[in-house]
Amino acid sequence: MANSIANALEAPYRFITKAIWEIQSYTLLASRAVANLFTKPIYWREIIFQMDRIGIGSLTIVLLTGFFTGAVLAIQSEGALRRYGAVSMTGQLVSLTLIRELGPVLSALMLAGRIGSGIASELGSMVVSEQINAMRSLGTDPTRRLVTPRMIATIIMLPLLTITCDAMGMLGGWIIAYYKLLISSSQFWSDAMSAMQLSDVVGTLIKPVVFGFIIAMTGCYMGLRTHGGTEGVGRSTTQAVVSSSILVIAADFFLNNLLIYLAPLINT
Amino acid sequence: MIEFQNVYKSFEDEMVLSAISFRINRGETKIILGESGSGKSTILKLILGLIRPDSGQIFIDGQDITQLTERELVSIRRNIGMVFQEGALFDSLSVRENVGYRLSEEGRMGESEIDQAVLQLLGFVGLEEAIDKMPADLSGGMKRRVGIARALVGTPKVVLYDEPTAGLDPITKRVIVELMIKLRDLEGVTSVFVTHDLQAASIIATEYASAGTDGGAKIKPGGDSLCLQNINFIMLQDGLICFEGSYQELMNSTLPYIKTFTA
C-alpha cells in the first residue's frame, strides 16, 4: 500500500523538483547576465554585431507584419464600425490596437521565432561541439561573452522594431482607410493621434524591453542546456520558440494590468 | 602536480567515475585508456574544473580545485592547455582568431605581437598557410592541429588531449602523435592523453623526439630513452581504475578486459 502511494507520487514529485530546478537555473543565468553589465570586460563589438543581426536582420519581417496587420485591422473594423455609423473612427481603432497591443506582441512573437530559435540553435551547437567548454578552458566566461551581448542587443533593438512595426501598421491602416473606406487623410491621422495617451506610448516602449529580455534569455538558456547531440539542438530550438512565445503572452497579460493600474499616474 | 583523491562523479543517477585516485608528476605522460563511455573524458573535464566531482578532491600544484569559483579557476586553467575531440574550434572565428583567442582575451598584447605568436604556433603544427581560413574549410586532421596550436598558447605546463586521433586516417594520426611526442620531449610538457586507440598510445610509449643537427626534430624508436620512462598507463573499466602501470606491464597483463585491448 505504502509502496503504491510512493510510486504514484514519484512522477509529480520529479516534475515539481525539475520545474523548480529549471526556474532556479534560468534565474541564475539571467542574474549573471545582468550582473556582467557592471564588471569588465564588456564585449562591445559583440553587442554591436548582435544588434545588427537582431535589429537590421529582423527589419523586413517586422515591417511586413506591421503593414499587413494595420491593413487587416482597418478592413476588419469597417464592418463593426459601420453598424454604429462610426467608420470615421478607424484611425483611432487602428492606432490604439496597434500601439497598445498588437505592435509590441507581434514584433516580439516574430523575434521569438527568428532570434530566439537562432540563439538557441547557435549556442546549442556550440555546446554539443564542445566550443563552450573550449571557451571556458581558455579563460572566458560564456555568460559574459555570449549571453550578455545577446540580451543587451535584443533589449535595445526590440523597442525600435516595435516602433517601426507600429508605424508600418498605421501606414497600412491609412492606405485601406483612404483608398477603400474613403476616409480623408487628415481625419484618419488626427483621429489616430488624438486617441493616444502618454500611458500608451510608455506601454509600447516598456513592453518590448521586457519581451526582449525574455526572448534573449530563453534562447540562451535553452541553447546552453542542450544535450544529446544534433537531435538535442533541434529540441532546444523548438523549446526556445515555444517557451519564449508563451512567456511573452503571459508577460503581456501582467504588463497590461500594471499599465492600466499606472495609467492615471502616467497621464497626469 | 595533478592528484585525484577518491573522486566520484555521476550524471543523472549513473555513476561514471568511482573511487578514482592517481597522481601525475611534473613532466610525466599519463595515458588513460578505456572503451567509450568509461569516464575518460570526464577525468579531463574534472582536471580543468569544467565539471565538479560529487565527492573527493582534485589537487593541481597542491591546491584543491574542487571548491574554487569559476573566476578562481581561470588562473589554474592558464597553465593547462586542452585539445578537444574534433578540435572544438570556434566556428565564427578564423584560424588566426582561434589560435590567438586567449591572447586577445587577456588584452596584454598588441595585434602584431599576437599575430607573431599565432604564426609561431601554427609553424609548430605545420599550418602557417591556413592562418586566414575558417574552421569549416579545414579537414579533420587540420582542425586537431589548430586545436593543438590553440592549446599551446601561453606555454602551458600541462596539455590534456581528449581523443585527438579519433576518426583520423593512419597518416594524419601519425602527424598528431608526432606533435604530441615533440611537445613531451622537446618542450617538457606534462601530458594527459585520453584514448581508446592503443596503436597511438603505443607509439607515444615507444618512440621519442630529439633535436636534429639541422634544428628540426627527429622521431626515433625508444629503447631505454629517459623520455619513455616517465610514461604511465591507466585503464578504466566501468568508471573504475582496473590497471595502472607501465607500457610493458600493460602489454603483459593477463586481465581479460585489458587483453581485449592488447590482443
Task: Give me the CATH number covering residue B236.
Answer: 3.40.50.300
The chain-wide mean pLDDT, for chain A, equals: 92
> With 90 as the cut, is the pLDDT of residue A8 above it?
no
Q: Distance from B80 to chain A by nearest Cα, in Å? A: 8
Q: What is the reported pLDDT for B176? A: 87
Q: Which of B50, B85, B90 sits opposite A137 (nearest CB)?
A: B50
> With 80 as the cut, is the pLDDT of residue A74 above it?
yes
Under 8 Å between Cβ of B3 and B23: yes
Per domain, the residue ranges of chain A are 42-263
> With 90 as the cut, is the pLDDT of residue B134 above it?
yes
pLDDT tens figures, B50-64: 999 999 999 999 899
pLDDT tens figures, B109-122: 888 999 999 999 99
Q: Which residue range is the domain that position B142 belongs to?
A: 2-262
Q: Would you state the cell numbers that stand for residue B198, as one nine-digit string?
A: 592503443
The answer for B 45-64 residues in CB contact with A (under 8 A) is: 45, 48, 50
Q: Which region among A184-188, A250-254, B216-220 has the lowest average model confidence (pLDDT)? A: B216-220
The number of folded domains in chain B is 1
Alpha-helix residue ranges (DSSP H) falling in chain A: 2-35, 44-51, 57-83, 90-97, 103-111, 117-128, 131-137, 142, 148-179, 185-195, 198-224, 229-267
> With 70 as the cut, is the pLDDT of residue B224 above it?
no
Q: What are phi and psi of B118, to 5 degrees?
A: -65, -45
The percent of residues in chain A predicted with pLDDT above 90, rounded, is 70
Query: Which residue from B190, B171, B170 is spatially nearest to B180, judged by alpha carbons?
Result: B190
- Averaged pLDDT, A222-229: 92
pTM of the model: 0.87
> With 80 as the cut, is the pLDDT of residue B263 above it?
no
Neighboring chain B residues of A46 at a CB cutoff of 8 Å: none
Under 8 Å between Cβ of B163 and B44: no
Q: What is the reported pLDDT for B227? A: 62
Q: What is the reported pLDDT for B212? A: 74
Q: What is the reported pLDDT for A206? A: 93
Q: What is the reported pLDDT for A256? A: 92
DSSP SS3 for B118: helix
B231 Cβ contact partners less than 8 Å away, ≥ 6 residues apart: B28, B29, B30, B31, B204, B205, B246, B247
The better pLDDT of the pair B198, A219 is held by A219
Q: Which region among A107-116, B35-44, B75-84, B224-233 has the lowest average model confidence (pLDDT)? A: B224-233
- Averaged pLDDT, A14-32: 93
> With 80 as the cut, is the pLDDT of residue A234 above it?
yes
Q: Which of B78, B91, B150 sits opposite A139 (nearest CB)?
A: B78
A45, A52, A127, A137: best to mutate for the B interface, most B CBs within 10 A: A137
At B225, the pLDDT band (50, 70, 90 cuts) reads low
- Averaged pLDDT, A134-150: 93
The percent of residues in chain B predicted with pLDDT above 70, rounded, is 97
At B175, the pLDDT band (50, 70, 90 cuts) reads confident
> With 90 as the cut, is the pLDDT of residue B167 above it?
no
Q: Which region among A105-114, A128-137, A139-148, B207-216 has the lowest average model confidence (pLDDT)? A: B207-216
Strand partners, B30: B192, B232
CB contact under 8 Å between B102 and A138, yes or no, is yes
Q: Is the torsion defined by CA of A248, A69, A237, B164 positive or negative?
A: negative
Q: Which residue of B has its CA nearest to A135?
A: B90
> With 90 as the cut, is the pLDDT of residue B238 above it?
no
Q: What is the reported pLDDT for B257? A: 84
The percent of residues in chain B predicted with pLDDT above 90, rounded, is 41
Neighboring chain B residues of A41 at a CB cutoff of 8 Å: 107
Nearest-angstrom CA–CA distance, A35 and A264: 33
CB burial of residue B260 (10 Å; 0-12, 13-18, 19+): exposed
Range picked from A20-24, A80-84, B245-249 for highest mean pLDDT: A20-24
CB contact under 8 Å between A138 and B48, yes or no, is no
Q: What is the reported pLDDT for B94? A: 94
